[in-house]
Amino acid sequence: MFKIIARKGFYCPRICCTNCGEPIVDASNAVVIYPKDVDEGDVLFYVAHKGGCDRTLTEMGGDAGGTTELTTALAWMLQNAGIKTPEDVDRAFTIADMTTSL
Ligand SMILES: [Zn+2]
C-alpha cells in the first residue's frame, strides 16, 4: 500500500507492506503480488516483504498467482509514469533526497 507520511511539514510517500504495515526500506526484499490468469482489465496488487509477509498474503488469497520483485515493478511504474531518462531520474531523486533526511 502507498502511504504519505508527514514529517516536519514535508510529505514523504512510502510503500508499506500490506501484511504488516511497515515501510518497505529495501525494494529487493519485497514483492508485488497480483492475480494470475487475467487476460484483460485492471487488477489490484499487494506489496509485501519477502518471506513471512508474502507467504501470509498468498495463503489468504489462495492461488494469488504472480509475484514480481518490487525493484522490477518500480522500474515499470517509473517508465509508465514518464520517468524514463537519467535526467528524469536525477530530477526525481533530487526532490526525494530532500525529504529522506528528515
Ligand atoms: Zn511485512
64-96 confidence digits (pLDDT tens): 678 899 999 999 998 999 988 889 888 888 877
Number of domains present in the structure of the chain = 1
Nine-digit cell at 90? 536525477
The range of the structural domain enclosing residue 70 comes to 2-100
pTM of the model: 0.79
Strands (E) across the chain are located at 2-7, 10-15, 30-34, 46-49, 66-69
| Residues whose beta carbons lie less than 5 angstroms from ion ligand 1 | 17, 19-20, 49, 53
Helix (H) or strand (E) holding 23: none
CA of 19 to the centre of ligand 1 (A): 5
Averaged over 13-41, what is the pLDDT?
A: 90
Give residue 30 CA to ligand 1 midpoint distance, Å: 8
Query: What is the phi-psi region of residue 54: left when phi exceeds 0, alpha when psi lies from -120 to 50, beta otherwise?
Result: alpha
Contact 33, 45 (CB under 8 A): yes
Q: What separation in Å is there between the alpha carbon of 10 and the centre of ligand 1?
A: 25
Query: Is 102's pLDDT higher than 70?
Result: no
Distance 66 CA to ligand 1 centre (A): 18
pLDDT number for residue 38 = 78
Q: What is the sign, positive or negative, of the torsion defined by CA atoms of 56, 6, 85, 41?
A: positive
10, pLDDT greater than 90: no
